[in-house]
């Protein structure tokens, strides 16, 4: 009873978070977080082009500032760019003014989009942070399924994680970069690139579309999405730049 009431209240207030679209059309939205990466994003764009697939990139403003041409490249190829904050903090740990600053600072550096999309870093969200996103006019986008590619999985393992998740209207979470991690070895995106390429080959009977296009193809499914991360785990994370200094240079392992 409580969960039904909570869901109804969220729908009434317009606070649901998009997780998929109910549709009979064979379409899926691939989404990529934490980029852009000068080492991996160009490779990913080539793979998507080869399979005539479009995607949605939830980008981090700090990375956009370092790689502005990659954002122009995404948009020119028909991909969608969404807001993923300025430097990827867990929003429940911030005060409201700082959350709004994070979203605005990232938005100010992005090209204008017809549909404003936001994905909270780590998928962490409280009612207050959801209200902040609503106040700024954002559709908050979560996901239906994730590959788990922020860990050290092989392309085969990532593909297995997604194999049964390619269904009409689903939203898939992947990463073309990692803004932060607990292990420098996880920065390498080669396995993700290989898994995406194989996924597109296997499911050539599907249309891979942007999130705004997916929203036009059926009924949006929005749910109460409230999650918070473990503070000790969050404190253990290091940024990609710090991990590269401590461990490996991601460009040295980038697939050629």
Which positions are annotated as active-site residues? 33, 175
Helix (H, G, I), strand (E, B) or coil at 103: helix
Q: Determine the straight-line distance between the first and last CA of the chain, rounded to whole angstroms.
A: 54
Integer Cα distance of 7 and 30 in angstroms:
26
Integer Cα distance of 131 and 220 in angstroms:
19
Peptide bond between residue 18 and the one before it cis (omega within 30 degrees of 0): no
Tokens of 71: 């954002």
Which residues, 6+ apart, have CB-to-CB distance to 216 below 8 Å?
none
| DSSP 8-state code for residue 172 | E
| DSSP 8-state code for residue 17 | E
Tokens of 5: 């009431």
Burial 160-194 (b: 16+ CB within 10 A, else e): ebbeebbebbbbbbbbbbbbbbeebebbbbbbbbb
Using an 8 Å Cβ cutoff, are 215 and 193 in contact?
Answer: no
H or E element: which one contains 244?
helix 240-246
Helix (H, G, I), strand (E, B) or coil at 58: strand
């Amino acid at each position: 009873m409580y969960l039904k009431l909570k869901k109804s209240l969220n729908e009434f207030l317009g606070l649901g978070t998009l997780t998929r679209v109910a549709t009979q059309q064979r379409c899926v939205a691939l989404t990529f977080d934490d980029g852009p990466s000068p080492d991996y994003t160009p490779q990913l764009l080539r793979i998507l082009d080869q399979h005539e697939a479009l995607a949605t990139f939830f980008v981090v403003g700090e990375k956009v500032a370092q790689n502005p041409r990659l954002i122009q490249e995404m948009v020119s190829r028909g991909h969608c760019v969404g807001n993923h904050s300025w430097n990827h903090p867990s929003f429940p740990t911030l005060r409201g003014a700082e959350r709004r600053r994070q979203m605005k600072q990232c938005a100010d550096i992005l090209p204008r989009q017809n549909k404003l999309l936001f994905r909270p870093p780590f998928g962490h969200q409280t009612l207050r942070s959801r209200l902040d996103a609503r106040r700024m006019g954002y559709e908050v986008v979560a996901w239906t399924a994730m590959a788990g590619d922020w860990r050290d999985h092989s392309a085969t393992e990532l593909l297995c994680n997604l194999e049964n998740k390619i269904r009409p209207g689903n939203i898939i979470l992947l990463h073309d970069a990692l803004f932060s991690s607990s292990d420098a070895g996880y920065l390498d995106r080669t396995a993700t690139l290989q898994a995406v390429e194989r996924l597109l080959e296997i499911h050539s009977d599907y249309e891979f579309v942007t999130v705004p296009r997916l929203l036009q193809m059926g009924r949006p499914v929005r749910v109460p999405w409230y999650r918070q991360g473990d503070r000790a785990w969050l404190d253990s994370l290091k940024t990609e730049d710090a991990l590269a200094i401590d461990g490996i240079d991601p460009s040295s392992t980038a697939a050629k």
